[in-house]
Homo-oligomer: A and B are copies of this chain.
């Protein structure tokens, strides 16, 4: 199956939107890429970078005549964007998004959309801690999963076309129920980010240890957390607000487990500590074997010469 759209519209041109623009160009997936984003400065930057073929301040203008529209905005803005573009969408077009929460995006967007639009929410499991149109690169999706959460009445042909699009960008595609997506992402993505933000905040607030000490000695573990804690604040605020229930559930399990661990430390239960610390080692091995992590010590940060 050849994947080729006459016209693709990208609404939002941050890390994901700009990476899509690069991937579309590199793999020849569209004749024309129309770009729109809320900030005039960002739109101008996208133009300077030559990310698309046309640029629009109004997302309604960008989506006109597009066969595929991909919304890549913070999930809290999904409803407003749907409202802005609803009247301009081409009948029969595929409309998707890349948001980190799915139930909330569906609830915000669906009510605004005409019946002749194929709305198939999606979420590429890929990213870096950088944001904005300069951060994108074509290989971001290579070997990563993209989860699509079709609605009950989704046209299977259109679902397959969108799946092929993501495969052409380098992704592997999974189909999932929106609510299950939100539960899975709460543990694999949302909780890790929240924990990372929290520990960096805790360290930043200490009086007994100076900021300069935290920075100097960060290679002993702390710096790993700062990567996630450097992610886009607007995006992550919205994730927290829009996947609240699943996040609160995971947070409460995490805290329960941490209390048990804290108790083991207080009472010197070495066996319990050793058991947990052994079990967790296996998980990383599985992730490396699944091709979702590089097989080099320290994320390959060290150049190992033997």
Contacts and interface: CB of A to CB of B under 8 A. Distances in A.
A181 to B, nearest CB: 9
Interface of A: 22, 100, 125-130, 135, 137-140, 144-145, 147, 174, 183-185, 187-206, 208-209, 211, 213-231, 233-234, 236-237, 240-241, 244, 247-248, 250-255, 257-259, 261-262, 264-266, 268, 270, 273-274, 276-281, 283-287, 290, 292-294, 297-306
Oligomer copy total = 2
B224 A209 contact: no
Given A145-B216, A214-B283, A280-B204, A221 B192 contact: yes
Most buried by B among A200, A209, A221, A292: A221
A241 B265 contact: yes
Contacts of A138: 305
Contacts of A202: 187, 191, 250, 253-254, 257
A237 B226 CA distance: 24
18 contacts: A22-B306, A127-B220, A183-B208, A184-B213, A191-B199, A197-B276, A201-B279, A204-B283, A206-B253, A211-B286, A216-B292, A218-B287, A218-B292, A219-B292, A230-B281, A236-B277, A237-B274, A299-B301
Q: Sort A-B residue pairs by CB-CB distance and give the 10 closest, nearest first.
A: A189-B220, A128-B297, A233-B277, A192-B221, A226-B284, A299-B299, A229-B280, A200-B280, A230-B284, A189-B221
